[in-house]
Amino acid sequence: MPIGFDYGTANCSVAKLVNGDVQAIRLVGDDYYIPSTLCAPTSEVVSEYLFRVLNIKPHDTVGENFLRRAIRLNDEEGIDVRADDVKFGHEALSLYLEDPKDVYYVKSPKSFLGAMGLRDMQLTFFEDLVCAMMANIRAKTEQALGQEVTQTVIGRPVNFLGRGGEESNIQAEGILRRAANRAGFKDVEFQFEPVAAGLEYEASLTEDKNVLVVDIGGGTTDCSFLRMGPGWAGKQDRQDSLLAHSGQMVGGNDLDIFTAFKRFMSEFGMGTQTLGGLDIPTTQFWNPIAINDVQAQRKFYAHDNLKLLRNLVKESQQPDKLGRLVELHQGTMGYAVIREAEQTKIALGEQESYQAQIQLLNETVSIPVLKSQMEEAIAIPTGKIQALVDEAIKQSGIQPDVVYMTGGSARSPILTGAVQAMLPNTPIVSGNYFGSVTAGLARWADLIYR
């Protein structure tokens, strides 16, 4: 049975088509979604876990060398890899929050896949991370359905994160394909996420329309301008219906990062000076929360940077605040800060103020945030999203009949208002914010694998 698989930046979900109706598949209890997170005792455990527990072998020499290195390092640490060593989703987050400094935790590895300049070993490790997550999803899907699942359509953004343009897209899609094949999917195809979301909306149309799909996910915003409706439904060749595409890596994660940077990091010393009157470098406050930037995370959590941070505390006019930055480093707590920024974003979608609480190793930092302050904080990513909408309309050369907004971050009244301000006379509709992409992928899978 073919499935649609949304391997999302924020969440993963799957669905199938039965007699023309989409059925989402429960993956954990009654939950249809698994957060795109993974946790293990060390990063090396992931690769050995694939080999020893899941019997998933490397596919090339680089992978074999990487696995041998992982086994050796785990052996030196006295780690005997077991089936329950690797956690996913909410279990991974809970374990990380219990003791951040003693586990390896990663959120949204999809954000890294298009990064250029990575060594072969780094690309192999990213593939192992994705493979472990996909194998977990496939196993839970087969358990729920009671049958083997080997065919899938996986959603992908119009453009992955990376400065290599199409080269970044090729690299990222290659990692996803190899990971999916190793996880047991024999037939793997891809579909643009906004196109998939549009296919689900199309099922509700009774007449053809020009639809601008705006998909604001956790890591990307993608816009697809499509001709949709009964005249196009069921066709495998949709080339003439695709009027325009635009997309880049700006989404819910960016809203959280900018909220944390603009509203939280002053409590960690941003904007303060040394005793000599020099500004504390801004990168020290950006890098720990830039969870979608591999190089930024590596620079902040490097051992040499801890020494530099301690020196900054000694030289600071406000050492108490800079000391919190040291705690952030020691506890590897950037994800915890971003999680509270996400809670702030959600709360301020429905209320005018929120009291953020960041739990550090030795204290709780309380930060009041107004809705107007968050709007100001996320002005840059909001502007980028508006630019993508404008680009798609200009490419098509026509105005949309309707805007279909989807993706978890599209729930934000701030973002909906920003799009509506650009198209004041165009109706904006929405469906299942989290499930429309998955549903469209399931429809496409059923169509192409018949």
Question: Lowest-pLDDT range, 92-96, 243-247, 382-386?
Answer: 92-96
Closest among 24, 7, 20 to 432, alpha carbons compared: 24
**Looking at the predicted structure, is the pLDDT value of residue 270 above 70?**
yes
**Cα separation, 15 vs 197, whole angstroms:** 13
Q: Render pLDDT for 23-32 as a digit per residue (tens, 0 to 9).
A: 999 999 999 9
**Cα separation, 161 vs 53, whole angstroms:** 31
Residues linked to residue 279 through DSSP beta bridges, in sequence order? 273
The whole-number average pLDDT for the span 246-275 is 93
> Taking a C-beta distance cutoff of 8 angstroms, is the pair 59, 178 a contact?
yes
CB burial of residue 388 (10 Å; 0-12, 13-18, 19+): buried
Closest among 47, 49, 35 to 97, alpha carbons compared: 35
Q: Which amino acid is at 80?
A: D
What tokens appear for 162 in the block?
């990376």
- For the beta sheet containing 242-248, the strands, ordered from the edge strand earlier in sequence to the opposite edge, are 242-248, 221-228, 209-216, 402-406, 428-430
pLDDT at residue number 135? 98
Q: Output the CA–CA distances (angstroms, integers) from residue 27 to 141, 410, 434, in the order listed.
A: 6, 24, 15
Question: Lowest-pLDDT range, 98-107, 123-132, 194-203, 282-291?
Answer: 98-107
Q: How many CB atoms lie within 10 A of CB 303?
A: 7
CATH architecture for residues 207-252+379-430: 2-Layer Sandwich (3.30)
pLDDT at residue number 41? 94
The C-alpha angle 149, 150, 153, rounded to 5 degrees, equals 100
What percent of the chain clears pLDDT 70, i.e. is strictly above it? 99
In this structure, the dihedral spanned by the alpha carbons of residues 189, 190, 196 and 200, taken in order and rounded to 10 degrees, is: 10
Pairs from 295-302 (Cβ < 8 Å, separation ≥ 24): 295/115, 297/334, 300/329, 300/334, 301/329, 301/332
**382: pLDDT confidence band, cut at 50, 70 and 90?**
very high
pLDDT at residue number 164? 62
Q: Which amino acid is at 285?
A: F
Per-residue HEC secondary structure of the chain comes to CEEEEEECCCEEEEEEEECCEEEECCCECCECCEECEEEECCHHHHHHHHHHCCCCCCCCHHHHHHHHHHHHHHHHCCCCCCHHHCEEHHHHHHHHHHCHHHCEEEECHHHHCCCCCCCHHHHHHHHHHHHHHHHHHHHHHHHHHCCCCCEEEEEECCCCCCCCCHHHHHHHHHHHHHHHHHCCCCEEEEEEHHHHHHHHHHCCCCCCEEEEEEEECCCCEEEEEEEECCCCCCCCCCHHHEEEEEEECCCHHHHHHHHHHHHHHHHHCCCCEECCCCECCCHHHHHHHCCCCHHHHHHHHCHHHHHHHHHHHHHECCHHHHHHHHHHHHCCCHHHHHHHHHHHHHHCCCCCEEEEEEECCCCEEEEEEEHHHHHHHCHHHHHHHHHHHHHHHHHHCCCCCEEEEECHHHHCHHHHHHHHHHCCCCCEEECCCCCHHHHHHHHHHHHHCC
pLDDT at residue number 432? 75
Q: Render pLDDT for 48-79 as a digit per residue (tens, 0 to 9).
A: 999 999 999 998 999 999 999 999 999 999 99
CB burial of residue 215 (10 Å; 0-12, 13-18, 19+): buried
CB burial of residue 203 (10 Å; 0-12, 13-18, 19+): middle
Q: Render pLDDT for 120-177 as a digit per residue (tens, 0 to 9).
A: 999 999 999 999 999 999 999 999 999 999 999 999 988 886 566 889 899 999 999 9
**Cα separation, 31 vs 133, whole angstroms:** 16
> Taking a C-beta distance cutoff of 8 angstroms, is the pair 227, 212 a contact?
no
**Looking at the predicted structure, is the pLDDT value of residue 268 above 70?**
yes
Question: Lowest-pLDDT range, 236-250, 319-333, 373-387?
Answer: 236-250
The whole-number average pLDDT for the span 260-271 is 96
pLDDT at residue number 443? 93
- In terms of pLDDT, which residue wins out, 317 or 110? 317
The whole-number average pLDDT for the span 228-250 is 87
In the chain, list all ranges with CATH 3.30.420.40: 207-252+379-430
Q: Which amino acid is at 388?
A: L
**Looking at the predicted structure, is the pLDDT value of residue 320 above 80?**
yes
Q: Render pLDDT for 74-96 as a digit per residue (tens, 0 to 9).
A: 999 999 999 999 999 999 988 88
> 200 CB contacts (<8 Å, ≥6 apart)?
22, 431, 432, 436, 437, 439, 440, 443
What percent of the chain clears pLDDT 90, i.e. is strictly above it? 71
The whole-number average pLDDT for the span 390-407 is 94
Tell me the average pLDDT of the chain: 92
The whole-number average pLDDT for the span 32-54 is 95
